[in-house]
Amino acid sequence: MKLVKFTKKGIYCIPGKFYLDPWLPVDYAIISHGHADHARNGMTYYLCQTDSKAILKHRLGTDIRVESLNYNEPKMVNGVQVSFHPAGHVIGSAQIRLEYKGFVVVFTGDYKVKNDHLTIPFEPVKCHEFITESTFGLPIYNWLAEEQLRQQMHDWVFKNQSHNRTSVFLGYSLGKAQRIMKLMEGVDKMYVHSAIHNLNAAIESSGIALPQTELLTYDFKNDELQNKIVILPPGLLGSKLLKKIPNAATAICSGWMQIRGNRRWQAVDAGFAVSDHADWNGLLSAVKASEAEKVYVTHGSQATFSKYLNEIGIPSAEVKTEYGSEEDDKEVVTEKTAVS
């Protein structure tokens, strides 16, 4: 049965007449999560998970027409039963399950299988066809256990403090920033950039509790930040704001930091492989748990991962999409927006 097809505008559900995370304007868009390469402007109507609603409004405009569902709450759209299931990627992220005449397709959006104690953990969903991301679809990407990662990051902050340095983490406003906040909770006072602060406010408006942070204003006093923790969006690497922070030690938080070459490419003091995507074993376990007859592999290492799945006996094909194969979508936070 052909329930979905891959089109120029995005993943299209044929009987349901709607799109999943489309990249061109369509009438009806079902959105997996709030990152800019998945939730784009210009759709007439949006459907998303409850915790994503405020994020979508914050990013796409309060005037968008958007409806939301809780996890596991089904809705019929043109005879297709649609439901959202936890993807563990960022707050409000969901796998989208479609069922039509007993045939089930699951589109993962982005996901991670490890519990970060912040987002609702990933739940495997059985299906006939599984459409999975593959951002880190190489066996060199296997994340440290959350406890070990936390320890490494704490040790780094303590070492910085012993040299009277301020620890600056760079991480994307939606997802990574909250993740860093959670990992750093209780270590010391945290300051966040306004882009992160505003997103935090949107998330909290859905009734989700986040670790306590302060808004980093441009007129901070020099000794105010010493030995503290600052979280900035990655676009501010090399910015005036970052240079203004005295004695800053800077760390990039991204799954790509798993590789030495990547850590050393940027002139920073540390790189931590903190990722909101599934690692290699995570991807494999999700694919296996889906028990799908056919696996479509999208953004990332689609050629490699799908070739490997075929070799281990799971029929698979790669699909070209317009989702970012970077760990995080392109977020434009410049000096200008930094002041606002």
Partner 1 sequence: MKHFSELISAIEITNKTNSKIDALVDYMNVAPEKDKLWIITLFTGKRPSRPVKTALMRQWCLEITGYPEWLFLESYSSVGDLGETIALMLPDPTHKIEKTLSAWMEELVALRPQSDANKKAYVLNAWSGLEMQERLIFNKLIGGSFRIGVSKKTLVNALAKYSGIDANQLMHSIIGNWNINTISFDDLIKGEHINYDNSKPYPFCLAYALEKELPELGEPQDWQVEYKWDGIRGQIVKRNGEIFIWSRGEELVTSQFPELVSAMTTFKDDFVIDGEILALKDNAVLLFNDLQKRLNRKTISKKMLEEIPVGFYVYDILEWNGKDIRSKPMVYRRQILENLVTSDTLPHFIVISQVITFKNWHELDAIRNQAREFNSEGLMLKQKDSPYHTGRKKGDWWKWKVDPLTIDAVMIYAQKGSGRRSSKYTDYTFAVKKDEGLVTVAKAYSGLTDVEITEISRFVNKNAIEKFGPVRTVKPELVFEIAFEGIAFSNRHKSGVALRFPRILRWRRDKTVADIDTIEQVKLLITNPT
Structure tokens at 1: 């049965």
3-state helix, strand, coil in the chain (%, to 5): 25, 25, 50
Task: Rule CB under 8 A: say whether 263 interacts with partner 1.
Answer: yes
Half-sphere exposure of 42 (CA within 13 A, CB side): 12
Pick from 64, 248, 259, 289 the residue near partner 1 by CB under 8 A.
259
Task: Rule CB under 8 A: say whether 8 interacts with partner 1.
Answer: no
Query: Taking the complex as a whole, how short is the minimal distance between the CB of residue 98 and partner 1, in angstroms?
Result: 29
Q: What are phi and psi of 171, to 5 degrees?
A: -160, 145
Nearer to partner 1, 208 or 259 (CB): 259
Pick from 126, 240, 243, 264 the residue near partner 1 by CB under 8 A.
264
CA dihedral of 320, 324, 327, 329, whole degrees rounded to 10: -160
Q: Which of residues 64-93 bind partner 1 (CB under 8 A)?
A: none
Site string for partner 1, 298-337 (x = CB under 8 A): -----xx--xx--x--------------------------
Cβ atoms of 157 and 184 within 8 Å: the answer is yes
Helices (H), 187-273: 194-205, 240-244, 260-265
The dihedral built from the CA positions of residue 232, 238, 240 and 246, taken in this order, carries a sign that is positive
How many residues bind partner 1 (CB under 8 A)? The answer is 24
Q: Which of residues 39-68 bind partner 1 (CB under 8 A)?
A: none
Q: Binding segment for partner 1 among 40-48, 171-179, 197-205, 257-265 (CB under 8 A)?
A: 257-265
Task: Rule CB under 8 A: say whether 260 interacts with partner 1.
Answer: yes
Pick from 267, 313, 320, 340 the residue near partner 1 by CB under 8 A.
267
Pick from 262, 285, 294, 319 the residue near partner 1 by CB under 8 A.
262
Residues 92, 237: Cα–Cα separation, whole Å: 27
Task: Rule CB under 8 A: say whether 146 interacts with partner 1.
Answer: no
Query: Taking the complex as a whole, how short is the minimal distance between the CB of residue 144 and partner 1, in angstroms?
Result: 8
Task: Rule CB under 8 A: say whether 256 interacts with partner 1.
Answer: yes
Element (H, E) at 308: helix 302-311
Q: Binding segment for partner 1 among 24-32, 37-45, 135-143, 225-233 (CB under 8 A)?
A: 135-143
Pick from 142, 205, 217, 247 the residue near partner 1 by CB under 8 A.
142
Cβ atoms of 192 and 231 within 8 Å: the answer is yes
Query: Taking the complex as a whole, how short is the minimal distance between the CB of residue 265 and partner 1, in angstroms?
Result: 5
Half-sphere exposure of 266 (CA within 13 A, CB side): 21
Pick from 36, 64, 77, 138 the residue near partner 1 by CB under 8 A.
138
Q: What is the DSSP letter of 234?
A: G
Q: What are phi and psi of 83, to 5 degrees?
A: -150, 155
Give the binding site for partner 1 (CB under 8 A). 138-142, 256, 258-265, 267-271, 303-304, 307-308, 311
